[in-house]
Amino acid sequence: MVSAPDYFLEHLWLIPLFPLITATLMLFVGRLLPKSAVNFFCVGSVLLSFLHAAGAAIALFGMNPEHRVFQQILFEWVTPGPIPGFGGPIPFVADWGYLLDPLSCVMILVVTGVGFLIHVYSIGYMAHEGGYYRFFGYLNLFMFAMLTLVLANNLLLLFVGWEGVGLCSYLLIGFYFLKKSASDAGKKAFLVNRVGDAGFLLGVFFIASIFGTIRFTSQGLADPVAFAGINETLSAMLTQERLVYGAPVLTTIALLLFVGATGKSAQLPLYVWLPDAMEGPTPVSALIHAATMVTAGVYMVARTNAIYQLAPVAMDVVAVVGALTAIFAASIALVQNDIKKVLAYSTISQLGYMFLALGVGAFSAGVFHLMTHAFFKALLFLGAGSVIHALSGEQDLRKMGGLWNTVPNTSRPFLIATLAIAGIPPLAGFFSKDEILGQAFARSATVDRYLFLWIVGIITAGLTAFYMCRLLFLAFFGLSRVSPEVEHHIHESPRTMTVPLMILAALSIVGGWFALPTLWGEQSSFEKFLEPVTKGVIPETVAVKFAHHTLLVEWLLMGISVGIAGLGIWLAYKAYVQHPELHSKLAASWPRLHNVLLHKYYVDEIYDAIFVNRIKDLSVAFGVFDGKVIDGVGVNGAAWLTRVLSRMSMWWDKWIVDGLVNLAGTFTRSLSHPIRLLQTGVFTSYAVFILVGLVILLAYYGHHMQVLVRSLR
């Protein structure tokens, strides 16, 4: 009999299992089930795994803070075998195991919690959609994949989850697969992710061939020696001088992994799929493309921070890419008119923030922002979805407005979320963002080029505040620009949709209070919690650590960030509430800039010109080659040759072989002709033959009898 916490730890594997079971159920027999049953199974399963996750988290808190790690190997998945590595073949094994440490603990709580809320929300949102069971089946499959991803105890299993979420995002983006744009968006997301995954996979191979293991850590395992982990191997190699700080190999690995992260988390070169992904149903955007999946990259980098901390170049790359992405996306978001597009770009820029944090070494800050962002961005998306639902499918901001009192249960939480993302204290976004900026600033004290990053971050914060408030004002304030036919049936969303909104609002208020201690200059409890994961393998290197700066600086920074946020809000208020015509004037006064922003810097067009069309041309060339050379010469030539040969052999068969056979046949027939004449087939003639035989017999017999009689005489 195990006690409760032990139970939750021991049955960690149940957490991904519940959604998997219901997903299978849906995909096989879902068609036959009524909606109520679908709701019961799918939402219920997610709720179950959320409860298990909570229980596991509590159990984890119960542990000793030094090694709060629980690892569980279910079975050996890829059986051990030598793989070629630097310096000869090395034993390699991948097991199907789950790892629960503070990082993954946070992740599963976010995933299952937000996921559960979004499931509940979807009941109301998808109520009138076709393919109900299909939708929930995909969602549950996604939950399974995501949980596998965050709970994986090695890179290969993580990659399984990674691909699984990719697949689900593809399926769900193309959920309305009858819409061409939707299916195209799905394909685009899939293909763009492939580019990143290639890099990620290469990174995994590098790790496997260099460290000989892909297991993250051996902590929490019975026999740490037998089950080597990356971290342990790394430290061992460092101590044995087989690796040094900033070794090119580590940089390569880190960069390759980061390529994967950019793919999955929509960072700068590969972010293009995320805006199009908004074609999917809004809950999907909320769950996959805002809260959970897109943060997989962040999670992965945080998970492998031990490597990153030893590769400063890679760290710089990450930070720069993150910062650029943040400001870039934010600038695009300024002028977008589709409500979901705006949110999509804001997501990209927030992700950029996270990578900025990771890049400057504030892993816990990044993860912290990940969590808060999950709350308020999910809330924003759901709110947007609720608005769209209320306006019966209208997504264009220019056709909204004045909804503040018509949909109160949606607009109030939306306001909270907006303030949160804009960074107004004491909401969640303020703390996490301030954390990041503070870290960046503190980093600039030691490495002065980070000052640039800090400035970018500050500007981005201002932009963020501006475009979010623009969105808020356009949607809810001012005069209503709603088209009349939609006007008269605007309606508040059902309870299943509004209740999750409120819960999320509450979360995005209190979500950031982990960081309260920073106000009086202490380490945020969240960081403390994540310490064991983020502390890296060798404390005494130049690797980034928690930056201490004085309380004064702290408050100063906070003031600056709040001030710039307020500035953004004020500008938005001016431009969209006081003088609604002002922003169009602005757009008119800088038409080129406005166009560039409106067309998202023409990135898609450039990509088409550079990559897509080239690839098309290449494939056309291949097609021509195939048709002309392979089919023409190879296949048809072979066929022609065969025809000629077979004609020859046919001639031989006909005249020589058959000829002989027929010759024999005619010979036999001519011989047997006389016998054939006897064979009339008329049985009376046969009877005559019988009689003839009888006559002959009797003649013989009579002759003998005569002889006998003579002898008697």
Partner 1 sequence: MMSPAHYLFLSLALFLIGCVGVVTRRNVIVVLMSIELILNAVNINLVMFSRVFGDVAGQVFALFIIADAAAEAAVGLGIIIAFFRNRETVMTDEMDLLKW
Partner 2 sequence: MLDSIVFYFFAGIAVLSAALMVTRRNVMHSAVFLVTTLLSIAGIFLQLRAEFLFVTQIIVYVGGIMVLFIFVIMLVRLDVPLHQMRFRFQRLVALLVAFALGVEVLVILLLARKLPGAGLFVQSTAPVSKLPPNSEELSRTLFSNYLLPFEIASVLLLVAMVGAVVMAKGRKRADES
Q: CA-CA distance, 186 to 404, in Å (whole number)?
A: 34
Query: Residue 683 binds what, of partner 2, partner 1, none (CB under 5 to 8 Å, by partner type)?
Result: partner 1
Q: Which of 448, 479, 709, 711 is the binder for partner 2 (CB under 8 A)?
A: 709
Question: Among residues 31 and 703, whose Cβ is nearest to partner 2?
Answer: 703
Decide if residue 691 touches partner 1 (CB under 8 A). Answer: yes
We find the least distance from the C-beta atom of residue 697 to partner 2, in angstroms, to be 9
Determine contact, residues 350/377, Cβ cutoff 8 Å. yes
Determine contact, residues 383/418, Cβ cutoff 8 Å. no
Query: Residue 699 binds what, of partner 1, partner 2, none (CB under 5 to 8 Å, by partner type)?
Result: partner 2
Q: CA-CA distance, 486 to 392, in Å (whole number)?
A: 7
Alpha-carbon separation of residue 639 from 22, 495, 633, 645, 647 (angstroms): 53, 70, 10, 10, 12
Q: Which of 502, 485, 484 is nearest to 493 (CA)?
A: 502
We find the least distance from the C-beta atom of residue 690 to partner 1, in angstroms, to be 9
Binding to partner 2, residues 639-698 (CB under 8 A)? 682, 684-685, 687-688, 691-692, 694-695, 698
Q: Which of 488, 489, 676, 713 is the binder for partner 1 (CB under 8 A)?
A: 676
We find the least distance from the C-beta atom of residue 673 to partner 2, in angstroms, to be 20
Determine contact, residues 273/185, Cβ cutoff 8 Å. yes
> Virtual CA dihedral for 540, 541, 542, 548, nearest 10 degrees?
-20
Alpha-carbon separation of residue 301 from 150, 589, 596, 607 (angstroms): 12, 43, 32, 26
Structure tokens at 208: 């496997």
Residue 98-137 contact track with partner 1, rule CB under 8 A, x = bound: ----------------------------------------
Q: CA-CA distance, 234 to 83, in Å (whole number)?
A: 19
Question: Among residues 29 and 695, whose Cβ is nearest to partner 1?
Answer: 695
Contacts of 282 (CB under 8 A, 6+ apart): 125, 340, 381, 382, 384, 385, 388
Using the structure block, give the residue that is written with the tokens 């763009």: 192
Decide if residue 684 touches partner 1 (CB under 8 A). Answer: yes
Kindly indicate which of the ranges 348-356, 392-400, 680-688, 703-711 contains the residues binding partner 1, using the contact rule CB under 8 A.
680-688
Q: CA-based angle 231:233:235, to the nearest 5?
A: 70
Decide if residue 75 touches partner 1 (CB under 8 A). Answer: no
DSSP string, 399-432: G----TTTSHHHHHHHHHHHHHHHT-TTSHHHHH
Q: CA-based angle 334:335:337, to the nearest 5?
A: 120
Query: Residue 516 binds what, of partner 1, partner 2, none (CB under 5 to 8 Å, by partner type)?
Result: none
Q: Which of 2, 83, 650, 705 is the binder for partner 2 (CB under 8 A)?
A: 705
Decide if residue 74 touches partner 2 (CB under 8 A). Answer: no
Question: Among residues 678 and 708, whose Cβ is nearest to partner 1?
Answer: 678
Q: Which of 58, 606, 633, 687 is the binder for partner 1 (CB under 8 A)?
A: 687
Q: Which of 709, 424, 358, 352 is nearest to 569 (CA)?
A: 424
Query: Residue 629 binds what, of partner 2, partner 1, none (CB under 5 to 8 Å, by partner type)?
Result: none
We find the least distance from the C-beta atom of residue 695 to partner 2, in angstroms, to be 5
Question: Among residues 489 and 676, whose Cβ is nearest to partner 1?
Answer: 676
Contacts of 237 (CB under 8 A, 6+ apart): 211, 243
Q: How many CB atoms lie within 10 A of CB 395?
A: 17
Decide if residue 244 touches partner 2 (CB under 8 A). Answer: no
Question: Among residues 679 and 706, whose Cβ is nearest to partner 1?
Answer: 679
Question: Among residues 191 and 697, whose Cβ is nearest to partner 2?
Answer: 697
Residue type, 151: L
Q: CA-CA distance, 202 to 98, in Å (whole number)?
A: 23
Query: Residue 712 binds what, of partner 1, partner 2, none (CB under 5 to 8 Å, by partner type)?
Result: partner 2
We find the least distance from the C-beta atom of residue 709 to partner 2, in angstroms, to be 5
Binding to partner 1, residues 43-62 (CB under 8 A)? none
Residues in binding contact with partner 2, number by CB under 8 A: 18
Residues in binding contact with partner 1, number by CB under 8 A: 10
Give me the residues that bind partner 2 (CB under 8 A), please. Answer: 682, 684-685, 687-688, 691-692, 694-695, 698-699, 701-702, 705-706, 708-709, 712
Give me the residues that bind partner 1 (CB under 8 A), please. Answer: 676, 679-684, 687-688, 691
